[in-house]
Every structure is written in structure tokens, then in C-alpha cells.
A = this chain, B = another copy of it.
């Protein structure tokens, strides 16, 4: 099989490609395991550091229709569509967000439709589609009411993927991801960037600011579970998807205070003291519009996995971080 990964040079993209290479096979349309012959790794910057003959790395603009035509052909069996403009940037640059988060997704779906291959299409959506007056626990049947352009664009893409799947144009699965924590690397322009930053920076010896109140409740998933779920989302037979193609992922509900207590417990006072609370109304407005807890009953019934404690997430980050530095 031939797999396209968009956003391949990103944090999740790289991890997903490593996981796919290690597995060596995925379920085909008939549910039987098939060898992964080729992974087309696409991003706005070229993927580097993964040296495997199966990986073909290219770079370009995913909102360019000619580019989309080159990326997907009749041999493409699966697309993992991870490319996105993050929430903070999509709020500042409306046209760019619409073009990448919605129009490019539409173009990818249209390309598969025009080829008639019904390729499997696994996409990440976001809890940012929710907002407004929210119950303590958001049920699967809760209305989408995005309070950001990023959330709007993700909801638009979800609706399209669902209808393209219903019509048999593609075999789509959209995973509504919690905030993935702890991301390595640099802060980004996601409103949720701090959720990784308040763990990553102090562990790396860097002072950092937490822009939200300690009581802020976050809905989180570790990178390991995110990759497990992306692969699981691909492997599920479509006849199991009886409640639709857009699936609220399970996650871990913790406050910022609990996250910082974990950090203190595991990494010590000196590390934990590198975090200073300095609230930023613009970030709080977006982050507080997201739910802090979900039932995710549909996803649980489908076998999607989740983290059960934040200490393990901190420990996994420290281990990954040490491996990266070594």
C-alpha cells in the first residue's frame, strides 16, 4: 500500500511515520494486513532525519490544486491528513486558516473522489469545535459551537469528511483530538502551546510563563496515545462506524494545577519553580471556550485508548527528551 502523510515534518507526522515504518503493514480495504510499500511524506518544509527507502519526502503548498493532484494518485490507498494552521495563527490570519484547514482538506477529498478509489482518509479534528455554554462533561451528542476560526475550520472539514464518506467518495475517519501534551521542540502559535510549554521548558532548564489560571481544566492526550489512536482510527473496519465518521477521542481531564503538581513531584522543586503564572486574556478566551471533559462513549466503544494519569505523561516526556538529547 501507498500512504500519504500531510504535515509529515510536524511532531505527530514524524512520530506517525516512524510508527508506520516499524509496523510495516496496515489493514487494507478488505481488512487484511497489507505491506506498506511507500509513504509519501509531505509538508511545507521537507521532512528530514527519517532515512528509509520507503519514505518519499516532498515539500510544497497543500492548498495548491496542482500539488494535491501530484500528491494523490490511483495507487494511494490511505491518507493521514495532519497538516493544519494552529489555533492562534488561524485566529490572526483568517484567510490562511480557511485555505489550509478547510480548502486544502476539501481539495484532498475531491481528489480521491475524482479518482474513484475510496481511499481511507484519517484526519485530526479538535475539541476547539466545541464552545459556548458547556456541561461539565461533553457528550457525543453535544452541539458544535466553535468560538475560534480554527474550531470553525475543523468543524467544516468534519462535516465534509462525513458527507464524502456517507456518499462513498472516501472512507473517512476524523479523530477529535484532545490537546496533545507534551510536545517536544519550540512553542508554537496554538493557543494551547503553553500546555506543553509548562512541562517542557522547565525540564529543559528554561523559565516559562503559564498564560491561564491554575484551575483551568484541560483535556489531554499523550503523543504515544495520539499515535496509537491514529493507527487504530485507520484500522477500524468501516462497518463498525455505526455512529458516524467524526469521533470525539477519549482523554485525560486535568487542571493546570494538577499538571504542575505532577511536574513538582517528578522533576523536583527547582524545575517546577521555573513556571510563572501570568494570565493572558486573549489565550484564556480561546482555551476557556474548550471543554475540559468528555464522555467519549462512542470512541471508547470502538477501542480508542487514553491516558489515565498525568505523572506517566511527564515521565514519558522525560524519557523521550533524554533519548532525543543522547
Chain A contact residues, CB within 8 Å of chain B: 94, 132-133, 140-147, 149, 152, 155-156, 159-160, 162-163, 166-167, 243-244
Contact = CB atoms under 8 A, between A and B. Distances in A.
Contact of A152 (B143, B145, B147, B159): B159
Given A142-B141, A144-B143, A144-B144, A244 B162 contact: no
B167 A133 contact: no
A146 B132 contact: no
Contacts of A147: 166
Nearest to A131: B244
B163 A146 contact: yes
A146 B159 contact: yes
Contacts of A160: 152, 156
A243 B132 contact: yes
A139 B147 CA distance: 20
Nearest to A133: B243
29 contacts: A94-B167, A132-B243, A132-B244, A133-B243, A140-B143, A141-B142, A141-B143, A142-B142, A142-B143, A143-B143, A143-B144, A144-B144, A144-B159, A145-B162, A145-B244, A146-B159, A146-B162, A146-B163, A147-B166, A149-B163, A149-B167, A152-B159, A152-B160, A152-B162, A152-B163, A155-B159, A156-B159, A156-B160, A159-B159
